[in-house]
Amino acid sequence: MSDDKYVVIKRDEYVEWFARNVAVIDQPKLLEDAVVIRTQDIFAASGLYAYAHTLLTHCELLEHMFGADTSELRAIADYFFERAHEAEHHPRRKLPD
């Protein structure tokens, strides 16, 4: 499997680049540590739910042990729960290609 099928770029950098209408040689920096999980992938929902639950478990530990404010981390967990729900109910689920 290779990482050259999808390209991941930060949205704000892409918007800025596109607004300037610059040449391809001056494109935004590609994120080397990002992966793409498509919601149509039949394995996506379980992986995204697991990630979201892991975040919530971490929040609970931080709150219980240190009284930490985990609202930002919980917002990230909520985001991944929403993506997992989308994946679970995707109308055309299929094996990854």
> Both 26 and 64 in a single domain?
no
pLDDT of residue 25: 59
Dist CA 78 CA 92 (whole Å): 24
Task: Identify the CA nearest to 32 among candidates 9, 50, 48.
Answer: 9
Is the model's pLDDT at 85 over the cut of 70? yes
> Both 87 and 44 in a single domain?
yes
Low-confidence winner among 26-30, 34-38, 43-47, 72-76 (lowest mean pLDDT)? 26-30
The band of 5, judged by pLDDT with boundaries at 50, 70 and 90, is confident
pLDDT tens profile 8-25 = 888 888 788 777 776 555
Domain that holds residue 3: 1-34
User: Which residue did the predictor score with more confidence, 1 or 21?
Assistant: 21
Q: How many domains does the chain have?
A: 2
> Both 62 and 91 in a single domain?
yes
Give the chain's radius of gyration (CA, Å): 17
pLDDT of residue 54: 98
pTM exceeds 0.85, yes or no: no
> Both 20 and 58 in a single domain?
no
CA angle 60, 65, 69 (to 5 degrees): 60
CA distances from 29 to 35, 43, 44, 50 (A): 15, 29, 26, 30
Residue tagged 């929403």 (tokens)? 82
pLDDT of residue 7: 76
